[in-house]
Structure 1
Amino acid sequence: MSTSPTIAALVPCYNEELSIASVVRDLRAAVPEMTIYVYDNSSTDRTSEVAREAGAVVRREERKGKGNVVRRAFADVEADIYVLIDGDDTYDAAALPEMIRTLQEGPYDHILGVRQETTNSAYRPGHALGNRGFNWLVGNIFGSEVSDMLSGYRVMSRRFVKSFPALSREFEIETELTVHAMSVRVPQAEVSVGFKDRPEGSESKLRTYHDGFRILNLIAQLVRHERPMLFYGIVATLLALVGILVGIPVIADFVTTGLVPRLPSAILAIGVVLAGGLAAVIGLILDGVLKARREVSRLNYLTYSAPPSV
């Protein structure tokens, strides 16, 4: 006789006293059998007390940053199915049963909650445009379409969670989750979820430009690690072009006069072209390392069973 899967909701929080009780209550109503873990990220208000009074299991992560919270929660909590949702009460908890059912029917390892605004002001100015830009950039770099890579609402299998390295420290964690799913090529799907304004008096922790640049930096680092031939190929091409441009006048003088009057330029051109060749070799070596690393990641992923089906 099959047993019901264990389901855990992981709710990162920082100063969410005004919203956390509603989040816990809505999650409990959506999936009554689910254990709800609220991870208080060193709040200075009554977030922990309110969450505990609402019936959640409260844990505390002292190191600031959502990435640090997710890393801790993924390591500590044992379940068959994991739900990751922000504690700001902007996501529709009523969509959770459909997300879990989709995960099990697939079976999939990663279900992304794609935000659909239910109010005109749910997105802060610039966030929607920035999100679309990141979706396009990551989708084209990693060859897999994504509709809302910055969504904080996801349902994941145990094998996805336990094979995820969780290296990010702050809000870049959503980007890392998305790229991990693409790199390991896990079966995944998307489900539309409602997205509304934060409660009155509550402020977003996102800093548009600061966090946007952090995400861009993470994407660049992930390209370097996950697409080394692309990254170092671009570097090698640019260096080779610079070397050729610097060397053309030197070659022209040599063809005309048989002399090399611009010796510094000649040395510079040779050095830059050699650096480009070295970058190409580094790309080839790291591409081989990447293949071995992905094989290890895949084998680690396969040590866990598939999500329990309905």
Structure 2
Amino acid sequence: MINLSPTNNILSRRYRGQRVVLIVPCYNEEAAIAQVVQSFRAALPELDIHVYDNCSTDRTAEVARAAGARVTTVPLRGKGNVVRRMFADTEADLYVMVDGDATYQANAVRELINKLLDDQLDMVVGCRVTPEKEAGMAYRRGHQWGNRMLTQSVRSIFGGQFTDMLSGYRVFSRRYVKSFPALAQGFETETELTVHALQLRMPYGEVSTAYGARPAGSESKLSTYRDGWRILRTVARLFISEKPFTFFGIMAALLALLSLGLAAPLLIDYLHTGLVARLPTAVLCASLMMSAMLAFACGLILDNVARGRHETKRLAYLSIPAPGAAGPSGVDVP
């Protein structure tokens, strides 16, 4: 749990009347974490900095603690598990989340927070911008293309105007954080963060921020193909669970069209001869049409279930005041 014993110091650490916390998920970031803590403290001294160490095998926790951050160890491996723990344990009015690899611009933190407060938003994403000549050092081969493809797939399914869905630099309101279910385990958590905002129709925004290469001695933990596949599966899972009527409606339409396509020649033969020449095909057509009807019925039922879940999350979201609308939350205990 978070030790908040020096109450007076914490109460005075406000930015525009809001208590702001920096939450940093880390795994083996000994070479970069001190730079992250120091750069963000210099950019916004009011930040309360928490580093969540995901059982690193190096000195990440020791270095972060020496740099002045509060360190919590998360035993379950995976960034999604760390995000779940961060959102559950940390109490604040505004949450700044950034990866512990020192690739994001700390000086942009004020701009992100100001945009959230001024425009009354619930999430602001720091969209990564890298000069073309530096892209090879900042990204692995195929990462930029994969990011665009996955972002476009989410936009096509859920709507929205996100341009960098997988950015690890974000600012959240308290009501966003405390209504987020956090079901993902790994790097697919950014997909869930994006879809959560879209499904609850939260106001969100984007700010372009510089994105650079990792410091020397720091290595990326992202696996291009394995994690890309996991993110794609998460998009498909969220499509089924959050928009079941659309998914099963498409399946029902495809099955019905296939059934009608196969049945057309049989119907023509029957009208000319009065006989069903290919009985197995007729049975297949009937089975496909029944499957289409079942898919349509499943879509209707699951759509009502999904609607109930959305209403529950919406009520949890509405139970917390908007950032800056009713003053700071005043919640200073875990």
Same fold by TM (over 0.5)?
Answer: yes
**Amino acid across the alignment from 2:54:** N
Deviation at 1:288, TM superposition (A): 2.3
Runs of 4+ in 1 over 3 A off after TM superposition: none
Does 51-60 or 254-263 show the bigger shift? 254-263
Farther-moved stretch of structure 1 (240-249 vs 121-130) = 240-249
The question of 1:101 aligning with 2:117 is answered no
Q: Deviations over 1:210-266 (max 9, x none)?
A: 111111111111111121121111111111122223323332332232122322221
Task: Measure the CA separation in 1 of the matches of 2:92 and 2:324.
Answer: 11
Q: Does 1:274 pair with 2:290?
A: yes
Equivalent-residue separation in structure 2 for 1:48 and 1:144 (angstroms)? 37
Q: Confirm or deny that 1:209 pairs with 2:222.
A: no
- Give the counterpart letter for 2:47 in structure 1: M
What residue number does 1:156 align with? 172
Partner of 2:153: 137
Gap runs ≥5 in structure 2: 1-11, 328-334
Q: CA deviation at 1:172?
A: 0.3
Equivalent in the alignment of 1:54: 67
Alignment of 1:1-80 (within 5 A): 4-80=17-93
Cα deviation per residue 1:76-129 (whole Å; 9 max; x = unaligned)?
Answer: 111000011000000001100111111111111100100011533212211111
In the TM superposition, residue 133 of structure 1 has moved relative to its aligned partner by 1.2
**How far 1:27 sits from its partner (Å)?**
1.1
TM superposition score normalised by structure 2: 0.89
The equivalent position to 1:88 in structure 2, one of 101, 120, 144, is 101
Alpha-carbon distance in structure 1 between the residues aligned to 2:254 and 2:74: 44
SS at match of 2:172: strand
Identical pairs, percent: 53
Partners of 2:204 and 2:159 in 1: how far apart? Answer: 14
The amino acid that maps onto 1:173 is: T
Looking at structure 2, the residues matched to 186 and 273 of structure 1 have their Cα atoms a distance apart, in angstroms, of 39
| Contiguous gaps of at least 5 residues in structure 1 | none
TM-score between the two structures when normalised by the length of structure 1: 0.96
Question: How far apart, in 1, do the equivalents of 2:188 and 2:222 lie?
Answer: 11
Hey, what does 1:124 align to over in structure 2?
140
Q: What is the match of residue 241 of structure 1?
A: 257
CA distance in 1, matches of 2:182, 2:266: 50
- Secondary structure of 2:312 counterpart: helix
Between the aligned partners of 2:184 and 2:237, the Cα distance in structure 1 is: 11
Supply the RMSD in Å over aligned alpha carbons.
1.5
Tell me the secondary structure at the aligned position of residue 42 of structure 1.
Answer: coil
Q: Partner of 1:113 in structure 2? A: 126
Among 290, 293, 302, the residue aligned to 1:286: 302
Letter in 2 for 1:165: P
1:296 aligns with 2:309: no
State the AA in 2 paired with 1:97: R
Q: Structure 2 counterpart of 1:77, which letter? A: T
State the distance in 2 between where 1:88 and 1:245 align. Answer: 55
**Local SS of the residue matching 1:120:** helix
